């Protein structure tokens, strides 16, 4: 089980990312549309003034049950071993063990 502080930190990053999403997208769009280098640099400075944790690349997908940061399946938001356990217990609809 992951420490609660790490899970809370990730949730905080997600909230920041959602809060600044539209601002960051509009600034990036302006950078693409403007042709003057000075204007681009000014817009870039505005973009850099936003918090670091508001960037989507700083997010890490975690298992929704255990908080495990690796081997996550996006469709289920579960780590591999939890997904396997739940699939064997028939707790995930539509998931069957493959055989050929």
pLDDT 10s digits, 31-83: 999 999 999 999 999 999 999 999 999 989 999 888 899 999 999 999 999 99
* Cα–Cα distance, 67 to 47 (Å, whole number): 31
Which residues form the domain of 8? 1-59
Q: 37 in a domain, yes or no?
A: yes
Q: How many domains does the chain have?
A: 2
| One domain, residues 46 and 2 | yes
Q: What is the pTM of this model?
A: 0.72
Any domain includes 100: no
Query: How far apart (Å, rounded) are the C-alpha atoms in residues 73 and 79?
Result: 6
Identify whether 68 is part of a domain. yes
52 & 33 share domain: yes
The secondary structure of the chain in percent helix, strand, coil, rounded to multiples of 5, reads 60, 5, 40
What is the number of alpha carbons within 13 Å of residue 32 lying toward its C-beta?
A: 6
50 and 69, same domain (yes or no): no
Q: What is the pLDDT of residue 97?
A: 83
CATH of the domain at 68: 4.10.830.10
């Amino acid at each position: 089980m992951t420490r609660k502080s790490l899970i809370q930190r990730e949730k905080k990053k997600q909230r920041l990312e959602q809060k600044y999403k539209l601002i960051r997208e509009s600034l990036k769009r302006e950078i693409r549309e403007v042709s003057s280098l000075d204007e681009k640099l000014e817009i870039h400075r505005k973009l850099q003034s936003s918090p670091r944790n508001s960037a989507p690349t700083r997010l890490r997908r975690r298992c929704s049950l255990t908080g495990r940061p690796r081997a996550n399946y996006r469709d289920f938001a579960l780590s591999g071993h939890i997904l396997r356990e739940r699939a064997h217990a028939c707790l995930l609809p539509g998931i069957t063990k493959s055989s050929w």
